[in-house]
Every structure is written in C-alpha cells, then in structure tokens.
Amino acid sequence: MDMSVVSTILRALLKWWWLIVISIALGVGVGYFLRREQPDIYLAKATTLVGQDPRAAAAAGTSFSNQSNSTLLEAYSIFARRASALNPVIEDLNLGTTAEELAERISLSGNPNAALLEISVSDTDPERAAQIANRVAQELVNQSRSNNSSQNQDFVKGQLADLETQISQLQDRLDQLTQEGAAYTSAFDINRNRQEREAIQDTIAELRSDYAALNASVGNIQGVVQLFEPAAPNYLPVATTSLLGLVFAGVGGGVLATLTIVLITFFDDRLQWEESDQETIQGVKILGPLGIIPRHNLPLYIETMPTSIEMQAMRQVRDKIALASDPPPRVLTFLSYDSGDGKTITSSNMALTFAKAGLRTIVIDLDMRRGDLHEVFRFPNVYGVSDLVAAKEPLEDILQEAILDSGYENLAIMTSGRSNTDPAALLSRARFPHLIFLLKKQFDMIVMDSAPTIAGSDAIFLSEVSDGVVVVVSARRTTMTGLKRTLSSLREAQDVNILGVVFNRVRLQITSKYSNTYYQQMPGMEASKLSQEILNPSKGFNLRAGVIQNREGERLYSIAACAARLGVKPKTVNQWCSTGYLKSQRRPFRRWIKESDIDDLLKRLPREGAVMKPTLVQESDAMPMPVPAPMPASQPSSTTGVTKELNRIPDQLREQREALLDFVKKPSQSESETPNSNSQH
C-alpha cells in the first residue's frame, strides 16, 4: 500500500478517534444491556448407576464389558428424553411446559468404564434445576424397577440375541480363517492370518463374558438403574454477564468503527483541509483556507466581520496572491469545478479587500449562465458585460453604462447582463480582451467571477486574458476528480498562470495557524468606545465605565482605557502604576489614573531631533505595492542636519521594504525555474 494512503488513513483515525471511543462504549453498553435482559442460567447434575455394580459383579465372579455398558447407557439416555419418562416429571413438579421443551434443557453423558449416567438440567432457578434432575433420575430408577416387566425382559433378551448373533458370525469367520491359514505358504500371509484370528478370538471371549453377565441378570432386572449421587442446588450461574463478553463487545464496536473510517477514507474522493506542511496539491500551490461564515454575516463578511479570524485569513490569501508573481497580478479570475463551492462569495470579498487596501478595484460577474454577483451587492441585473460584448457600438462609448458604484470606497461592479448570446461565443470574441484592456486603464485591480469549469469553456477564455487564476475548492465537498479536471483544462489552455488553490469553508477555529491568540489580540477597549466615554464620562462609581469624572471635574481613566489611549497592554499600565512610573489612585475594586498624569507621562517622553508627524495607516489592510524609485544621491549642500535626518528615514524604510520583498519572492522565483513553468505553481 502506498505510504501516502497509509498516512491519510492514520490522519483520519486520529481525527475520528472520538468515533472509535464512542463505538467501543456503545458496544459495551449494548452488550451489557442485552445480557442483562437475559436471566442467569443455573445447572444441576444428578448421577445414576446403569447396569450391575462393578463391585457386586466382581464379588459374584461376573463382569460387564465396556461394550455392554455403552449399550445400556445409550438405551437409557434415549429413554430419559422420551415423553413417557418426562411427562410424570412435569406433572409432579407443575413445570407448565411440554416434554419437548424440557428435553432441550436436559443433557446426558455416560461413562462406560464406571457405568455412570450423568443427568444435567439447566434452569433459571437453581433449586428447581436440582428438583428436575433428581426427579428425572428417580423416574429412570422407577422404570427399571417395574417387577420384571415384559418391556425390560424383551430389552435384555434382545441384547442377548444380538450377542449370540455376533458370536456366531465371528466364530464362522474364525473357522474360515483357520482353513485358509492351512493353505498359506508365504510367511507374510501366515502372520497376517494369525493376527486376525487372535483378534477375533479376543472379541469372542469378550462377547461371551457380556452374554454371561446379561443372562445372569435376567432374574434381577429391576436393579439395572440405581441413584448414585443426587443433584444439589448450584447457586453459581453458568451463563451471566461476564467481563470477557463485554470486552469482546467493546472490541467489536471499536473494530467496526475503525473499518468504517478506513473504508470511508479510502473511497472518499472529497478534498480535506489538512493543516500540515503540505504546500501544493496536484502540483499547484495552496494559498490557504477560508472560513465558514455564519449565514447572518453573508455575503460581504469582510464588512460585517472586520475583526474576525475569517477576515485575517482572507487578508493572508490576498497578500499571497499579490506576492505570487512579479509584477503583482492586476487581472484575477476566480473559478471552481462546480457551482456552490463559494467562488462568488470569495471573489466579491477578495475584491473588497483590494479596495480597502486603497486599490481602485472592479469585480465583474462573468458567469453569464447563472451569475448572481448582483445579488451580493443588491443590484438589479439589467445591463452588464454580456451586453457590452454583444453590442455593435464601440466599447469606449458604452463602457461607463455598465460600471456601477458598489457603495464601497474604491470598488465598482459590473453585472453579467442579459444577452441571449452563447457565453462561450461572447468570451471568444476580440471585443472581450479589448474590454479588459479598457478597464485596466481605469482600475488597479480587476476581479472576475467565472462560471464553473463543469459548465463549459467559459473559464478557459477568462484564464487566457487574466494575469492569474485562483481555483476555489470547498472542503469536504469538492472531489479530487473535479480538481484534476479543472487543472487539466487550464493547463491545456495557452499561457494560463495558475496562482494557487483556496480551500473554502474550513473551520479556522480548530487550526492552530489561523486561530493563534497572538494574532487575535484585541485592545482592552476599542477606540470608538474610548472616544465616546471621553466626551461623556460617567459621574460617580460605575463598574463598567472606562472614563469617569471626579468632583473636581477631572477625567479619570481605568487601566483598560489608559492602555487604549497610550497604545500599550493593560499589563504594562499595571506595571507602571506599581513602580510609580505612572501615578494612580485606587477606588473600590479598581485603579484609576488622572488625565493630567497621563498628559505628564506623554510630556516626559524622551525626544531627539525633529519630530515627524505620524501618518495613520491600517497595517492589516496594507499590501505589497510597487516601490517608488530611490531619491537621487546628490543633495544640495545647504541641507541642514535635520533635513538630512528626515531624508534618511524614507531610505531606511525603503531598504527594509525591498529586503522583505526579496525574502518573500525567493520561494516563488525558485519554483518558476523548474520545468513546466507555464503553469506557475
């Protein structure tokens, strides 16, 4: 078996370990419940002596052979199961059952050497089991003491007749062998004849001994069966809830669950997101996962969930796309194998992240078969890209009629339109590449939402005019077969740059890379709430207030509010207050800092040279952009020391930026040097 298959199965077993545990517990529970519903079974055993007592026979000078004992034991074993012997037992003990049912609960075993017949009876009551065993044994004794009844006499006489017949047949055979032996001349034949005659003579002697014993007992036939050892109640059940049975039930449940997981894993073709060191799938780079979005936050969750893990994952994918090629791609196509994989939601939210990063962006619905991008932005679909390409007027004259303002800064949309022309035919026209050319003059980023590859060749035409293609797969839904077909169709096209694969609908909360609390730390108080409380501070004691006002009219800040204003952690503010670096006063249950003490701390900050006015930039929305050309090396000789220092700071930042880009681009450059570089990841 391939090691990759083994590793996949092992990962599945580790992932579904709880199912195995539940199956084991369920097996033990079901086994215990079923066995508890069945009553405990008790066994009682009575022993009878069948035939003449060996000690009495020895004193009388006679003996029974093993064959005779076996014959009697077999005869009385059959008689003990008949209705004639069991009906009296049922009537005397009021068992309320039939002879056939009682016979199934009786087992008999004989010992020919000791002429003993053991009668074992199973029952749910130990005392009743002993009573039945003793009563069956007594019935055998009673039947054997029937005052020389004709039945017993006939039985013994029949046995004697059988013995006579056997002795006569053996004697005839012995005579024949004696005659044949006289004619043999070969030593081998003579020896074999002699051995056979000796064996027959021994058998005849044994049968004659049995015949003599039976013939001697005809006058006292009532003593054939005697009670040797009565049954006593045995309170130890022979069938009960055993620990071994429960163990077997649990092991059976665990094995069944394991086999089920192995079979499902082996035959399941659906793609699974595995957070491991795997960086590629089917030779294509994995860009990362996207989260499962609650329905009430759809479709533009970038706007409704600005501080969520899902938002961070989308930004990481955006940054990987921007760094996937040099220069960064400007025309992106998002596609999937089948509808329902989430490409429309992904493309619309990705376009919004580009817009929030300051890039003029347009998102185009190019699923002209069943496109619903207009539903995401709550627009009608009246005039769109299909109408532009199908029209006969110059695109420059009618282009602006199809571009709609999304209502978000830097983001425009273009719906699919309502043209009845075949979508593949429209995309194959020369007007479509010209449309992209005109849009690139107006926008920094063009995001295209494609039709699924299963629907036709629409995605192929879009990929050929794009700078990069992103394949969206839905975890636990898209199959490996579907992904292979999509990638195969893209690789057959001309100059298609496959940037990577994005796994959609992944539970980011259970993945360590995307739910690390270090990357999700939020300030103790949001800036908007702090500003509101500064304008309207609470008067008097309030446990939830961040800013209050004392009697003198001065504002007091809580630890969290002070940390939010100073841009540090609440832990740092506590340390400053403990060491006296920042003055504070304790009121009931909380520590407060005067606004004047915060201002004094800011005034005490050490400063060197000129102070540059900081520019507020949201680092989370920042993305790689073209680096400006460096400043000329020559500077006017009249430049002051402060001016030189200010000019040197952008140069340092630019050097750091270039070093970061070089470090990030090294893996991509090394991959582009490999064979078949047309596919690019």
Least reliable range by pLDDT among 1-10, 97-106, 303-312: 1-10
* Domain identity same for 142 and 256: no
Taking residues 185-200, report their average pLDDT.
86
In the three-class reduction of DSSP (H, G, I as helix; E, B as strand; rest coil), residue 321 is classed as helix
462: domain range? 280-515
Alpha-carbon gap, residue 515 to 309, rounded angstroms = 7
Alpha-carbon gap, residue 208 to 8, rounded angstroms = 78
What is the pLDDT, as a whole number, of residue 212? 76
* Domain identity same for 427 and 503: yes
What pLDDT, in 10s, does the model give residues 529-568? 778 788 888 876 666 788 888 888 888 898 888 888 888 8
Alpha-carbon gap, residue 314 to 586, rounded angstroms = 44
Quote the strand ranges of 125-184, DSSP E: none
What is the pLDDT, as a whole number, of residue 6? 74
Alpha-carbon gap, residue 460 to 451, rounded angstroms = 10
Q: Is this prediction's pTM over 0.85?
A: no
What is the pLDDT, as a whole number, of residue 261? 82
Alpha-carbon gap, residue 592 to 585, rounded angstroms = 5
DSSP 8-state code for residue 479: B
* Domain identity same for 534 and 461: no
Is 273 part of a structural domain of the chain?
Answer: no
Is 631 part of a structural domain of the chain?
Answer: no
CA–centroid distance for 63 within its chain? 74
Can you tell me which residue has the tokens 């009629």?
401
Is 656 part of a structural domain of the chain?
Answer: no
Is 15 part of a structural domain of the chain?
Answer: yes
* Domain identity same for 527 and 473: no
Least reliable range by pLDDT among 36-50, 143-157, 329-343: 143-157
* Domain identity same for 501 and 571: no
Residues of the chain with pLDDT > 70: what percent?
76
Taking residues 375-401, report their average pLDDT.
92
Is 104 part of a structural domain of the chain?
Answer: yes
* Domain identity same for 503 and 377: yes
* Domain identity same for 352 and 435: yes
* Domain identity same for 30 and 118: no
Termini Cα distance of the chain: 28
559 near 591, Cβ under 8 Å? yes
What pLDDT, in 10s, does the model give residues 200-233? 888 888 888 777 766 665 554 444 788 888 999 8
CA–centroid distance for 675 within its chain? 38
Bridge partner list, 284: 281
447 near 364, Cβ under 8 Å? yes
Burial of residue 69 (CB within 10 Å: 0-12, 13-18, 19+) is buried
Bridge partner list, 47: 118, 229
Taking residues 524-533, report their average pLDDT.
73
Question: Which residues make Cβ contacts (< 8 Å) with residue 513, sequence separation at least 6?
Answer: 275
CA–centroid distance for 291 within its chain? 19
In the three-class reduction of DSSP (H, G, I as helix; E, B as strand; rest coil), residue 667 is classed as helix
377 near 348, Cβ under 8 Å? yes
Q: Could you tell me which of 471, 491, 474 has the C-alpha nearest to residue 317?
A: 471
Is 637 part of a structural domain of the chain?
Answer: no
Is 103 part of a structural domain of the chain?
Answer: yes
DSSP 8-state code for residue 39: P
Alpha-carbon gap, residue 464 to 429, rounded angstroms = 13
Last residue of a domain, one of 603, 633, 655: 603
* Domain identity same for 305 and 341: yes
What pLDDT, in 10s, does the model give residues 238-282? 765 566 677 888 888 888 888 888 887 777 778 878 765 678 898
Looking up residue 578, the CATH number of its domain turns out to be 1.10.1660
Alpha-carbon gap, residue 415 to 187, rounded angstroms = 114
Q: Which amino acid is present at 388?
A: L
* Domain identity same for 18 and 72: no
564 near 521, Cβ under 8 Å? no
Cite the DSSP H helix spans in 237-295.
243-267
Looking up residue 485, the CATH number of its domain turns out to be 3.40.50.300
H or E stretch at 286: strand 284-291
What is the pLDDT, as a whole number, of residue 327? 87
Residue 302 in tokens: 């970038």
Alpha-carbon gap, residue 344 to 474, rounded angstroms = 12
* Domain identity same for 511 and 526: no
What is the pLDDT, as a whole number, of residue 633? 40
Taking residues 588-603, report their average pLDDT.
86
* Domain identity same for 210 and 345: no
Last residue of a domain, one of 488, 515, 542: 515
Which residue has better confidence, 68 or 72? 72
399 near 388, Cβ under 8 Å? yes
Q: How many CB atoms lie within 10 A of CB 140?
A: 23
Pairing assessment for the beta strands 116-123 and 42-50 based on DSSP bridges: antiparallel
Q: How many CB atoms lie within 10 A of CB 74?
A: 15
Residue 361 in tokens: 């962006």
Q: Output the CA angle 495-501-504, nearest 5 degrees.
A: 145
Confidence of residue 644 (pLDDT cuts 50, 70, 90): very low
Mean of all residue pLDDT scores within the chain? 79
Q: How many CB atoms lie within 10 A of CB 269?
A: 11
With a cut of 80, say whether residue 383 has pLDDT above it: yes
Which residue has better confidence, 626 or 451? 451
Q: Which amino acid is present at 621?
A: D
Question: Which residues make Cβ contacts (< 8 Å) with residue 401, sequence separation at least 6?
Answer: 383
What pLDDT, in 10s, does the model give residues 470-517? 999 998 889 888 999 999 999 988 889 999 999 999 988 655 455 444
Taking residues 289-306, report their average pLDDT.
90
Bridge partner list, 556: 548, 594
Total domain count, the chain: 4
Is 618 part of a structural domain of the chain?
Answer: no
583 near 593, Cβ under 8 Å? yes
With a cut of 60, say whether residue 120 has pLDDT above it: yes
With a cut of 90, say whether residue 388 has pLDDT above it: yes
The DSSP line for 303-318 is HH-TTSHHHHHHHHHH
CA–centroid distance for 374 within its chain? 38
Can you tell me which residue has the tokens 């009219």?
553
Last residue of a domain, one of 603, 635, 661: 603
